[in-house]
Amino acid sequence: NAGVTQTPKFQVLKTGQSMTLQCAQDMNHEYMSWYRQDPGMGLRLIHYSVGAGITDQGEVPNGYNVSRSTTEDFPLRLLSAAPSQTSVYFCASRRLLNEQFFGPGTRLTVL
Amino acid sequence: GQQLNQSPQSMFIQEGEDVSMNCTSSSIFNTWLWYKQDPGEGPVLLIALYKAGELTSNGRLTAQFGITRKDSFLNISASIPSDVGIYFCAGDRVGSNYKLTFGKGTLLTVNP
C-alpha cells in the first residue's frame, strides 16, 4: 500500500493563479480531509468528505474548493491564490472512527 | 476550532530521561490518537486508543485513554535523540461528525 500520496511536494504560485493539489489513498477509506498547517496555528481543517460525492466545509474553507468523484481521490483547488494561502497542506484519510493517516504534505508559497 | 489543551508546549530533556505529555478537554471523546511530526514531514500515527481506561504501548511509547474520556497522556521512556519532533494529540469529540480535534503539539528536544 502506498497509503496517502500528495502531489506536488513543493509549489510556488503568483497571486491570482489557480492550481490543484492532488491527494490519493489506496486504503479504501471513506473519510478524507485537507488541512493547512501554519506556525503557531496547528492543523486547521479546510474541507472534508465522508464518501464519494459528499463534501463539507471545515473551519477555514474560503478560497478553496474540493470534489470527491471517487473513493480514492480528493483534490483541493485554489481558485485565485493569495499570499495568505502560503502554508503547508496535508491530506489525510481514515476509516470512520479509526486511525487517520496523513500524506507527506505540499509546501505552497504564493508570491 | 481546537478544543484540546495539550501540555507542555515544549520540553528540553537529556537523552535517557522519561517524558510525559497530556491532552485535556472539557468535552468527551470516543477516540484518542497520538502523532509525531518530524520537520518537513507529515504527522505519523504512533498510538490509537478506543476505550476509556485503555493503556497501549508501542515500543518505548505508552499512551492511555483517560477514564473520564476527557483526557489522554503519552509517555516516552528512555528518550533518544531521534525522539526529537512535535507530538500531537487528536481525538473524536462526541458529536463532531468524524472531524478530529487536534492539540497544538508538544515540541520535544533531546540533548545527547
Per DSSP (E only), the strands in B17-105 are: 19-24, 29-37, 44-49, 55-58, 61-65, 71-76, 85-93, 100-102
Tell me the one-letter amino acid at A111: L
Q: Which residues pair with A47 in a beta bridge?
A: A34, A57
How are strands ordered across the β-sheet holding A64-66?
Answer: A4-7, A19-25, A76-78, A64-66
Q: Do A90 and B98 touch (CB under 8 A)?
A: no
Which residue did the predictor score with more confidence, A96 or B67?
Answer: B67
The pLDDT, as a whole number, for residue B48 is 96
Question: In this structure, are residues B76 and B25 in contact, taking their beta carbons and an 8 Å threshold?
Answer: no
Whether B45 contacts chain A with CB within 8 A: yes
Whether B107 contacts chain A with CB within 8 A: no
Q: pLDDT per residue over A44-83, tens digit each?
A: 999 999 999 999 999 999 999 999 999 999 999 999 999 9
The pLDDT, as a whole number, for residue A17 is 97
The pLDDT, as a whole number, for residue B2 is 53
- For residue A9, pLDDT over 80 is answered with yes
- What residue ranges of chain B have pLDDT lower than 50? 1
Residue A41: band (very low, low, confident or very high) from pLDDT cuts 50, 70, 90: confident
